[in-house]
Amino acid sequence: MSAGDKPAPVDPELGAAKESLSSGLRALLPFARHARAGLITAGAIAALAALLGIAPYWSVYQTVVELLAPTPNLDWLWTLAAVALAGVAGRFMLHGVATFVAHKAAFRIQYNIRLQLAEHLVRVPLGYVNRRRSGELKKVMADDVERLELFLAHAVPDIVAAVVTFVTLLIWMLAVDWRMACVVFAPAAPAMALIAYAMRHAGMHAAEYKTAQGSMNAAIVELLRGMPVVKMFNRAEDDVRGTENLIRRYVSVVRDYSLAFLPFGTGFYVLLASNVVVILPIGGWLWLSGELATETLLFFLIVGLGALSTLVSMLFLFANLSHIASGGTLVAEIFAQAPLPAGPSSSRVVSNSRVDFDNVSFRYDDSWALQQISFTAEPGTLTAIVGPSGGGKSTLASLLGRFWDPQVGSIRIGGVPVAELSSEELARQVSFVLQETFLFNDTIAGNLRVAKADATLAEIESAIRRAQLTDFLARLPEGFETQVGEGGMRLSGGERQRLTIARAMLADAPVVVLDEATAFVDPESEVAIQQAIAELVSGKTVIMIAHRLSTIAGADQILVVDAGRIVERGTHQQLLDADGLYAALWTDFNAANALGLAPSAEELQ
């Protein structure tokens, strides 16, 4: 387009709706590539079924012709009845086969989308997943992909059958009498124009519908997960009201969506049924004037009245197309999130467990979370990271596991940049024990084998023993095969924490990152967890995010992080002598001990 050529003005909302529809459908096309043969086969079988479905119409027409003859042939009438019956049976049988084949193809597409979404989400930065509410991702992977399967499984055979039936009847009727054929099919063009406009008009609400549904799903999931807290603090009325408001908003959007579609969709139905208004008077006038034979008039009255009903399947297509495209747009948004660059397929050799942060700076969005972080953690030492809440401690530790890549600087293990390690090698080098434990809805053994899939029973027993879980396991009738429940809900907090420590022991990584695991457990569990951690970190390079300062008084080095920077570093005594931020934190910690809000240093030693 030249500089002087200007596109015609376009309604921004209409243009956005068109782009959303086309981009959403384009996003889904690559997944249909491997199932294309199945969809084509389903379409071909559906076309044959549609042709067989016309046999009863042909039989009725021939029956009318025969009955109007001076001497009807009864044998021929019986034959026509048999043809009609065979046509009906064949049509339903082949249409069932076509739907089955389409379902198989659609399930394959559904499988490919979900598999690739899962694989992609594993590769994207963890921050992207954390910033998306789980209900939104659930809607894409479950609801939208499920709707796509239902659409493809039924739309392909139904639409092909509708088109084949429509075209065949049109050609047949034109051959019988072109004038009456034009009368029968005259409403088809305005009807299709109405349904296309209805879809386009309703599609303007697609983005709002997508947002409202995602917010509602996320709120419902969050409410269910937080129900214990809601009940504990008697917040049921407020939290339920907030969720109710999102549900009401969703209902309002759906109502607007439906009302935008309804008048034009209703017009589509009315036009499809309106040909009776013109077939009878025009056909009667032609018959009275002697220009139309009786059997021809009866043919158009019998067959013509239902000829346009085949287009009703189109309503299913158009009514669901914007929903499918909306889901495709969400899928495209997820795939548009760039994954972390993959490490090499053959991992570089890591010679030791020394950890180096070299001038590392990192930001999530516009503001820097970490700036110019540099330190070295030597093998077999404990490096503690302390500081005010929100200062960047957890972000710093998570970069070592490559949950994100820093925008500036490099992080190395044994002299090798973590970005150059394969994901498998990085997992072998670094293990994490976090405050927020996560266990799969599986057995105890299954959760432990997440760290080492081929772990032997002896290795599992050793990890259980070292994690101080022997007595706990002895109380379980099913032992290692005990189901822990969703998120480990059947276990206590201390038991879950020790199980994650046992999992880290099985991984046996030379570098261990601890987000102090005893911060929120009872004293009895704390002692056991401390003993388990001592077993875990023996001889390893340990980086600990410390909340209770008494637990890191003997650390080889302490890094004080505030506002994304290391503001102090040294041993416990050196930092106390410096009388800076660490000394202030230590004073506050001891003041809390004096109030009985935290255990004293003596109690933890």
Model pLDDT for residues 537-578, shown as the tens digit of each residue: 778 888 888 877 877 888 899 999 998 899 999 999 999 999
Q: State the Cα–Cα distance between residues 447 and 437, nearest whole angstrom.
A: 12
Q: What is the pLDDT of residue 123?
A: 78
The predicted pLDDT at position 229 comes to 54
Q: Rounded CA gap, 28 and 41, in Å? A: 20
Residue (of 90, 84, 86) closest to 302 by Cα position: 84
Strands 355-363 and 541-545, by their bridges, are: unpaired
- Displacement of CA 554 from its chain's centroid (Å): 46
Return the pLDDT at 236: 54
- Nearest CA-CA partner of 431 in 353, 491, 494: 353
Residue with tokens 């404990």: 382
- How far from 599 is each of 122, 435, 545, 546, 554, CA to CA, in Å? 39, 18, 18, 14, 17
What is residue 315's predicted lDDT score, i.e. its pLDDT? 66
Task: Reduce the secondary structure of 405-429 to three states and give it as a string.
Answer: CCCEEEEEECCEEHHHCCHHHHHHH
Whole-angstrom Cα distance, residue 387 to residue 229? Answer: 28
Residues of the chain with pLDDT under 50: 1-19, 597-605
Of 158, 166, 160, the C-alpha closest to 303 is 166
Give the tens place of pLDDT for each residue, 276-312: 788 888 888 988 888 888 888 888 887 877 777 777 7
Name the nearest CA neighbour of 516 among 547, 540, 539, 538.
547
The 10s digit of each residue's pLDDT in 523-535 is 556 667 677 777 7
The conformation of residue 542, written as its DSSP 8-state character, comes to E
> What is the number of other CB atoms lying within 10 angstroms of the CB of residue 577?
11
Q: Alpha-carbon distance 337 to 353, whole Å?
A: 32
